[in-house]
A and B are shown apart, each in its own frame.
Chain A
């Protein structure tokens, strides 16, 4: 395996420095200007990498290698979240209210480490095709359903890419373990945003008008029972209300109550069923003398780890962390816009164990943090997968 892990470990300080710099300067989706500049500068410093900026708005694409061999893409996301950081780290966010609470800072730093490692490989002549580094903005979708991966694809970032790989840190998994599921691994994630509409009225005279709060209550009941009553229990599904808002004063019956939420599913038919049932739930308002507006925003499709690519990564991970440290079973209801890239080119996302271990530090919370000793492991697996990819493509077989 040519000591890839050892070489990655030599880059630990560099990856840590980059990650902490990005962590201290988090930027929201499509606003990753400083981060993108740092990425582009670092790629230029490494050298031998052609760099394109402003791909998919704030994305950066680097390419290394030559020739007519196959092209493999490696993706990292760069955006932070609108969360006020309370992690207690010395390099905590200097941008109050914005935080890298999902580890995208680490993803970006790891991919820069991978660029270092593969630059060394180019010098050895092992890269007999091209490697494309995909630094993506806006993985965390906004309410409009627009995220970074489709924007980068629109700008041609995946043109000519044969396979694509990526990783995601997991703050609930110990360092030294990885997750590699073949087939379905992430849920489709969709958004519903509805308004319950009524006449409203005076709080003292409910009978004169009509009450959007009462109607909203019925809608919520129906929404919460979709999964338990309408979906095949063998097929995973979630319908969660994330936001409910109505009214302005205690004695005014509101005319509008907003209800919005997320829908998760694996099976395409279940995905359509959820849409139809959400519509039916809101339509209850009409039976109650009110009305509704509903927009259903299609988000990320269900993720699918290509079995062949997964096997390649599994082989490498087996060498680097050992087969007993690979979780091949755990699928989650989370969603990932990497799935858009997987629709373009067969690919696999690996989960990288990065738990700090002191306390629960869940993703998307103010106390999120990772153990940076995971970074060389992730960089080594990605880089070695690429090296073996070209060995395979050139028929040289895999040195083990």
Chain B
């Protein structure tokens, strides 16, 4: 029986797990029920050493022969602060929280993979180990500005792991298609907060004080010109303002204006350049007798799919979905904290086509939904890649 056939026979089980998790979504670092469900399921499968509370609410399962190489497979578990309107009958029972990015299915698929690889190890043909990494908080950071992946890495979840693989469902790609790109796939993401300060004053007497709203105009112009005027056009980059806030009433010039924005890039040099240019832009306020405070929060590094691991997965996916159904050029300015794990162990994340197809069900929206028939495909690709790696069938 092929890996895909065996994955299909687990589709009822994966669907049950996914719907259970979907109905009980938990926000970042609060995945207590989900983590317990994961740990219980891994123990039921058997032969898997289970560690909980790794990276706060993460779970790590280990199976293998002890010696030989180790491959890690990652799924994220957290939901988003969104009120669900998907219309599915297993909708969120936790009002205001929703699995609107498919992490429920990632977790269910990885539990399916654990089933499949347990069966493989039982055959005695593999040498090496598999680490099942169930990660909290892909979508948000804690008080120390850390998301789930670095927290798990700090707790040793990736120690001894040679390569990492993972998948992400894609609600815009048809079931049966897979996105598999070598090299950069997601952007580095940093964010900034800036406070531009003047004295403020009476709206009728602007000349008596200094006006941060007026200073904001050159600052915003400069911010919006960073990408178009300062960055090498061959290198992708984005500077977007997400928040501009200042003032209370019409006749009072505020003393402070607040800005928040996101910075995206691939190239390490461009990443540093954006940070410097943002500082130069907000520093224009000083030119007009104002001042500023700037806080930079460094976020996820750029996601980089290791060419070798990508080749392994491409070979597997070619057998499972066919070469014509592999999209090899998809990259974007989105970000993924799996990138931290890729920095630690060369690895690859694939996109798994999971469009329901009835209408647009975009990620991070209340109507997000996936077609569960994608799950066995994803489980088979992950499990078969790990199997070949540990059977020495990869180049």
A binds B: yes
Please state if A226 and B236 are interface contacts (CB–CB under 8 Å).
no
Contacts of A238 in B (CB 8 A): 228, 233
- The answer, among A228, A234, A236, for a CB contact under 8 Å with B225, is A228
Please state if A331 and B225 are interface contacts (CB–CB under 8 Å).
no
**8 Å CB interface, B285-314 against A:** none
Report the Cα distance A236→B331, complex, angstroms: 14
Please state if A228 and B221 are interface contacts (CB–CB under 8 Å).
no
Contacts of A237 in B (CB 8 A): 233
Does B344 belong to the interface (CB within 8 Å)? no
Does B160 belong to the interface (CB within 8 Å)? no
Does B237 belong to the interface (CB within 8 Å)? yes
Does B36 belong to the interface (CB within 8 Å)? no
Does B332 belong to the interface (CB within 8 Å)? yes
What's the tally of chain B residues with a CB closer than 8 Å to chain A?
17
Report the Cα distance A332→B228, complex, angstroms: 16
- The answer, among B225, B229, B237, for a CB contact under 8 Å with A233, is B237
- The answer, among A224, A227, A234, A331, for a CB contact under 8 Å with B332, is A234
Contacts of B238 in A (CB 8 A): 228, 233
Does A321 belong to the interface (CB within 8 Å)? no
Please state if B233 and A228 are interface contacts (CB–CB under 8 Å).
no
Query: Binary interface profile of B, 194-228, with partner A (CB < 8 Å = 1, else 0)?
Result: 00000000000000000000000000010011111
Please state if A233 and B236 are interface contacts (CB–CB under 8 Å).
yes
- The answer, among B227, B234, B332, for a CB contact under 8 Å with A228, is B227
Report the Cα distance A52→B226, complex, angstroms: 50
A235 nearest in chain B by CB position: B236
Please state if B234 and A225 are interface contacts (CB–CB under 8 Å).
no
Report the Cα distance A333→B264, complex, angstroms: 21
Does A239 belong to the interface (CB within 8 Å)? yes
Please state if A227 and B331 are interface contacts (CB–CB under 8 Å).
no
Contacts of A236 in B (CB 8 A): 233-234
Report the Cα distance A233→B228, complex, angstroms: 10
B229 nearest in chain A by CB position: A224
Tell me the minimal C-beta distance from B179 to chain A in angstroms: 14
- With contacts A221-B221, A234-B332 taken as known, whether A226 is within 8 angstroms of B228 at the C-beta atoms is yes
Please state if A333 and B333 are interface contacts (CB–CB under 8 Å).
no
Please state if B226 and A228 are interface contacts (CB–CB under 8 Å).
yes
Does A243 belong to the interface (CB within 8 Å)? no
Please state if B236 and A228 are interface contacts (CB–CB under 8 Å).
no
Contacts of A225 in B (CB 8 A): 224-225, 228
Please state if B331 and A332 are interface contacts (CB–CB under 8 Å).
no
Please state if A234 and B234 are interface contacts (CB–CB under 8 Å).
no
Please state if B233 and A229 are interface contacts (CB–CB under 8 Å).
no
B264 nearest in chain A by CB position: A233
Please state if B225 and A333 are interface contacts (CB–CB under 8 Å).
no
Tell me the minimal C-beta distance from A334 to chain B in angstroms: 11
Does A177 belong to the interface (CB within 8 Å)? no
**8 Å CB interface, B233-272 against A:** 233-234, 236-239, 264
Contacts of B333 in A (CB 8 A): 233-234
**Which 4 residue pairs are nearest across A and B when measured between Cβ atoms?**
A227-B228, A228-B227, A228-B228, A233-B236
Q: A225-B228, A228-B238, A233-B237 are in contact. List 15 more A-B contacts (CB 8 A).
A: A224-B225, A224-B229, A225-B224, A227-B227, A227-B228, A228-B225, A228-B228, A233-B264, A234-B236, A234-B331, A234-B332, A236-B234, A239-B228, A331-B234, A333-B234
A-B contacts, 30 of them at CB < 8 A, read: A221-B221, A224-B224, A224-B229, A225-B224, A225-B225, A226-B228, A227-B227, A227-B228, A228-B224, A228-B227, A228-B228, A228-B239, A229-B224, A233-B236, A233-B264, A233-B333, A234-B236, A234-B331, A234-B332, A234-B333, A236-B233, A236-B234, A237-B233, A238-B233, A239-B228, A264-B233, A331-B234, A332-B234, A333-B233, A333-B234
Residue numbers of A with Cβ under 8 A of B are 221, 224-229, 233-234, 236-239, 264, 331-333
